[in-house]
Amino acid sequence: MTKNLVIGIEGLVGTGKTSICKNLLNYIPNSIVLHAGNIYRAITYQMSKEKLENFQNVDLANLFKKYEIEIKIENRETVVFSHGKKIQDIDLQSPENSLAVSKTSRTLNNINAYKIVENYINEYKKKYTVIFSGRDTKKIYPDLDYHIFITADLDKRIIWKSQQYENENINEIRKNIIKRDKLQEESGYYKTYKDTIIIDVTSSNNIEDSTKLVLNHILSKKDSI
């Protein structure tokens, strides 16, 4: 690889974005995954624990400080700490927290928090290629080397989510995805740009297939690995 890159990956709910990012680590040398969405999830999780409901236009950066959010790297992925304690992935990714994040992200003021994430990326890029997973990746980091948006048919996404949440009712999973899709779209998080690479993974049988679809687009560029 001729230089360290910043690869922004986002997409529709339930398309396997997080798993794709993790799997890309097996193919892209000297890379890490920055799970920017987990910052939102961590803050929302802490808000839920405190039963905070009035967060209209609250500055996300202030909550970042309030909950003493720290981002560290473990096994080439970022993990989130609050008040010095690591927040477990099972809590961050729960259906309840996922839906809550879709709601809070519409009302919180993101501008200053975006600058915090941008600073993290700039620091990590000095040493690594950064696979940047989250929402609004292009707004947070306009100089992305790649902006990739993952899509898939609703029915396929329901199947994948049902495999993730084995004990959840399939009808509830469907309603949850549709509701989150609507919230995300209304918040402007499904925006694409002229340089966005849109990848449909409906035909994928597994995450490995989806990862290779993404990787093929990265490999096709002369600045890549």
Supply the pLDDT for residue 1. 46
Helix (H, G, I), strand (E, B) or coil at 185: helix
Instruction: Find residue 10's DSSP bridge partners.
Output: 149
Q: Which amino acid makes up residue 100? A: A
Closest CA to 207 of 29, 25, 57: 25
Q: CA-based Rg of the chain, rounded to a whole angstrom?
A: 17
Give helix 37-49 / helix 95-107 axis angle, nearest 10°: 100
CATH no., domain 6-219? 3.40.50.300
Q: pLDDT under 70 in the chain at which residues?
A: 1-2, 52-57, 103, 105-108, 220-225
Domain boundaries, the chain: 6-219
Supply the pLDDT for residue 52. 65
**For 118-133, how does the pLDDT look when each residue is reduced to its tens digit (9 = 90+)?**
999 999 999 999 999 9
DSSP letter for 131, please. E
Sequence length of the chain is 225
Q: Cα–Cα distance between 193 and 57 in angstroms, integer?
A: 26
Q: Cα–Cα distance between 155 and 161 in angstroms, integer?
A: 10
Closest CA to 164 of 106, 122, 207, 117: 207
Six-digit token string for 83: 């008040």
Phi then psi for 12, rounded to 5 degrees? -65, 155
**For 55-100, how does the pLDDT look when each residue is reduced to its tens digit (9 = 90+)?**
666 777 788 888 898 999 999 999 999 999 999 888 888 878 877 7
Supply the pLDDT for residue 151. 97
Closest CA to 64 of 85, 88, 40: 40
Q: Which pTM does this prediction carry? A: 0.84
